[in-house]
A and B are shown apart, each in its own frame.
Chain A
Amino acid sequence: MPIDQIAQYCFSGITVGSIYAIVAIGFNIIYNTTGVINFAQGEFVILGAMTAISLAAWMPLAIAIGLAVLITALIGGLVELIFIRRVKRPTVLRLIIITIGVSILLRETMLHVWDEKVHALPFFTGTEVSSVTLLGAHTSPQVLWVLGACALIVAGLSLFFKFTAPGRAMRACAANRTAAQLCGIKVRWMVTASFMLSAGVGALAGCVTSPVTQTQYDMGAPLAIKGFTVAILGGLGNSVAAVAAGLLLGLLEAFSISLFPLAYQDVVAIVVLLAVLCFRPSGLFGRRDAHVSGEF
């Protein structure tokens, strides 16, 4: 394969992989604070993008995106308040089921509020035909925005969790809920905060990749599965590993086009998921026994 084609696949893979990584980070944030896998994670991504697309008709792009991220974060918090918090005797089985229900509800709402057509945000810089040349390959400048946003999110979250009080509080909840409560941390609000944070981060990712991957109301579910695959691949709860795993999966998918017909591309991610679950459920970088059956 000629070098510039390899580079082409690489950029495509990294772009897609970044969004998977961010969805995975969203999973990890909620999982770390609550132990729940939020099946509706993918919908937040799409919701953010759709909201931004509508808002962008009336205001400058940057403000539209900022507002969309905020609105989606609020919706994430609402989801937690209305649905998750009120489950009586919340076993993991019940919480999984309810987040599935939420994901369906969000998706159908998006279908009826918007429509089933494909939309996209305008390119941040330039148009769909502008390109920059990197390592002999032509790629859209949007890719740089995607990578930049991904790096920003990862860096921002690291700083947030390490140096800010709310961030440390959330980590405390993840490590030991009871102890956190005894320290005066309002665990319930931390849970809400984690949903808001996840939703906001997902929305940002959705906005930044919308020009390249485009946005349609039902893209949330496949994103959720791939995001989950990446989260597991890196080790559930480990967000830095998620980035590496995301890029890995993105590259695998991109290069698989050269081997399989396009129709089977999604299958690659799922085969990876099943393989990881089979051989190394704790992920590439996870703790050995974190995954073993205890409760549920």
Chain B
Amino acid sequence: MRSRRYAPIAGLVLFVIALQLTLSATGTTYYFTQITMSVYYSLVALGLCLLMGYAGQISLGHAGFFAIGGYTSAFLTTHNIATSGGGSAVRWLQQFGLLVERQDLYGNTIVHLSPWLALAIAMALTTAAALLVGLPVIRLRGHYLAMATLGFGIIIYRVVLGTAGLGEADGFSDVPPFRLFGWLEVNGRKPFAAQNYYIAWTLVVIVMLLGANLVRSRVGRALRAIHENEEAADALGINVARCKLTAFILSAWLAALAGVFATHYRGGIGPSEATAFKSIRYVAIVAAGGMTNLWGALAMGVLLNFLSLRGVFGSYDDAVFGAILIAIMLFAPDGLIRVPRLFRRIRKKLDGSLAA
């Protein structure tokens, strides 16, 4: 039984490797950059899929969580802590290896927080934000959460756009690489394109693994139950508000995680990552993939973002996603991709031919 659950993931790993070999054969790192970014964006979509498909709630502000992750990490790894005073705190951090010393763009030596610490702080901030937004509205009807998250996303956008310390319209652009361990580093340098490609996909594979487990588990059933009939779920002892909130926080974490990694990968982040358009784009991706379908969200996330980054949609970029939203709701409300059904059909065919 377990092999059935994990077989698709093994398939994914093979696909990822095959894709990498194909891309390397082209001799250019151009596609790597776009695919890697698309993979990070689809991480956000995966979290949103958990929220929309399983908990049945909608968030129109997930770009805000991505931005919280990215901006926090960017700020903390480019801000020279030595200038902020607090000498004893600096020494204490240094003792634990939580500080990094490097040369910045202008040749000055700056001391900043280690990316791991920045990541931890970013996740803590994300949790706080998710609680702040989610806790009051989770018990209310869905369109309240939709509006609250939309409002939250706009606040984040306004804050990053309007604050000088966060780079205003230009954002950050000299974010250092993120040394994971040993020689493994998240950076944007060309020779490391394949390595970064794999780092991004590894995150996704881990999430798919955990997601596959979660969906089949007691909590997964509880979430689906909530989505299908909240009152009945309540009567079965499921703490609906807590489940929804936890799903919301988890999805926020994924978005923030994607934000952190993507920022170190690209070496920067700008306010355009926090716009309402971005948030709506994530919703369109999840809807197109089928809201209860993690694979759909992944496939659509990579595909649509890749096409968008390649400029295939031109100046109609936003219009395309709007059209997708409409078309999906009208013609394919359960999404375009039904991978589990596909697998089931293949299995049935195999069983049939074996029995014959």
Contacts and interface: CB of A to CB of B under 8 A. Distances in A.
B310 interface: no
A98 interface: yes
Given A98-B329, A263-B162, A264-B162, A296 B151 contact: no
A155 interface: no
A93 B325 CA distance: 12
Interface residues of A, number: 45
B141 A292 contact: yes
Contacts of B287: 97
Nearest to B321: A104
Contact of A225 (B140, B154, B159): B154
Interface residues on B, range: 35 or more
Contacts of B142: 92-93, 96, 293, 296
A86 interface: yes
A97 B283 contact: yes
Contacts, number: 134
Interface string A215-245: 0000001000100110010000000000000
A273 B148 contact: yes
B333 interface: yes
A278 B132 CA distance: 9
A148 interface: no
Contact of B230 (A83, A225, A232, A293): A293
A252 to B, nearest CB: 15
Given A277-B140, A293-B230, A97 B158 contact: no
A102 B321 CA distance: 11
Interface in A257-285: 261, 263-264, 266-267, 270-271, 273-274, 277-279, 281
Contacts of B257: none
Majority secondary structure of chain B interface residues (helix, strand, loop or mixed): helix
A221 B95 CA distance: 50
Interface in B319-348: 319, 321-326, 329-330, 333
B59 to A, nearest CB: 11
Interface in A84-135: 86-89, 92-94, 96-98, 100-105, 107-109
Interface string B140-162: 11111011101110110011011
Contact of B326 (A98, A266, A271, A293): A98
A278 B58 CA distance: 18
Contacts of B154: 225, 266-267, 270
A101 B151 contact: no
B143 A225 contact: no
* Residue from the set B144, B147, B240, B329 with the largest chain A CB neighbour count within 10 Å: B329
Contacts of A279: 136
Interface in B261-286: 276-277, 280, 283-284
Contacts of A229: 151
Contacts of B325: 97-98, 100-101, 104
Given A87-B330, A97-B329, A270 B151 contact: yes
Contacts of A103: 322
Contact of A105 (B60, B240, B277, B319): B319
Interface in A22-43: 37
Majority secondary structure of chain A interface residues (helix, strand, loop or mixed): helix
B114 to A, nearest CB: 32
A279 B139 CA distance: 12
B222 interface: no
Contacts of B56: 93, 296
Contacts of A104: 277, 280, 318-319, 321-322, 325
Contacts of B133: 274
A147 B287 CA distance: 42
A96 B146 contact: yes
Contacts of B276: 221
Contacts of B155: 267, 270-271
Contacts of A267: 154-155, 158-159
A101 B231 CA distance: 30
Nearest to B162: A263
Contacts of B92: none
A261 B162 contact: yes
B20 to A, nearest CB: 34
A279 B135 CA distance: 11
Contacts of B150: 225
Contacts of A93: 52, 56, 58, 142
* Residue from the set A37, A89, A107, A270 with the largest chain B CB neighbour count within 10 Å: A270
A291 interface: yes
B43 interface: no
A269 B316 CA distance: 30
* Residue from the set B52, B150, B159, B324 with the largest chain A CB neighbour count within 10 Å: B150
Contact of B322 (A101, A263, A295): A101
Contacts of B277: 104
Contacts of B166: none
Contacts of A294: 141, 230-231
A291 B283 contact: no
* Residue from the set B56, B141, B284 with the largest chain A CB neighbour count within 10 Å: B141
B137 interface: yes
B141 A293 contact: yes
Nearest to B234: A293
A96 B162 CA distance: 30
A274 B151 contact: yes
A228 B151 CA distance: 11
A52 B240 CA distance: 49
Contact of B330 (A37, A86, A261, A274): A86
B158 A266 contact: yes
A83 B152 CA distance: 28
Given A87-B330, A97-B58, 15 more contacts: A93-B56, A96-B58, A96-B143, A97-B287, A98-B329, A104-B280, A104-B325, A263-B158, A270-B155, A277-B137, A281-B144, A293-B141, A293-B142, A293-B240, A294-B141
